[in-house]
Amino acid sequence: MVMRACSICKRLTVKTCPYHPEARLVDNWKGEIIVLDCEKSELAKKLGIEKPGTYALRL
Ligand SMILES: [Zn+2]
């Protein structure tokens, strides 16, 4: 299963981003971050992540 990243919100997805179905998908990201609780995650705040999920780092 190949995961790709939404070019807008950086969420990792298999098909299309549920929030940005029109977005281009990127497959050369360098790492990933799993956000379970956006309120408590400093890194999520820093990256501007507002919804739980798996996100790509350094697209
Ligand atoms: Zn997106």
Taking the centre of ligand 1 as the mean of its atom positions, its distance from the CA of residue 52, in whole angstroms, is 12
Taking the centre of ligand 1 as the mean of its atom positions, its distance from the CA of residue 51, in whole angstroms, is 11
Q: Is a pLDDT exceeding 80 seen at residue 1?
A: no
Taking the centre of ligand 1 as the mean of its atom positions, its distance from the CA of residue 22, in whole angstroms, is 9
Q: Is a pLDDT exceeding 90 seen at residue 2?
A: no
Taking the centre of ligand 1 as the mean of its atom positions, its distance from the CA of residue 40, in whole angstroms, is 21
Residue extents of the structural domains in the chain: 4-57
| Three-state SS annotation for 7-48 | CCCCEEECCCCCCCCCCCEECCCCEEEEECCCCCCHHHHHHC
Is domain 4-57 annotated with CATH 2.20.28.90?
A: yes
- Residue 44, pLDDT score: 92
Q: Residue 40 to residues 45, 49, 55, 56, 57: CA-CA distances in angstroms?
A: 9, 11, 16, 19, 19
Q: What is the pLDDT of residues 44-55, one digit of tens each?
A: 999 899 999 999
Taking the centre of ligand 1 as the mean of its atom positions, its distance from the CA of residue 58, in whole angstroms, is 15
Q: What is the pLDDT of residues 9-26, one digit of tens each?
A: 999 999 999 999 999 999
Q: Is a pLDDT exceeding 80 seen at residue 59?
A: no
pTM value is 0.82
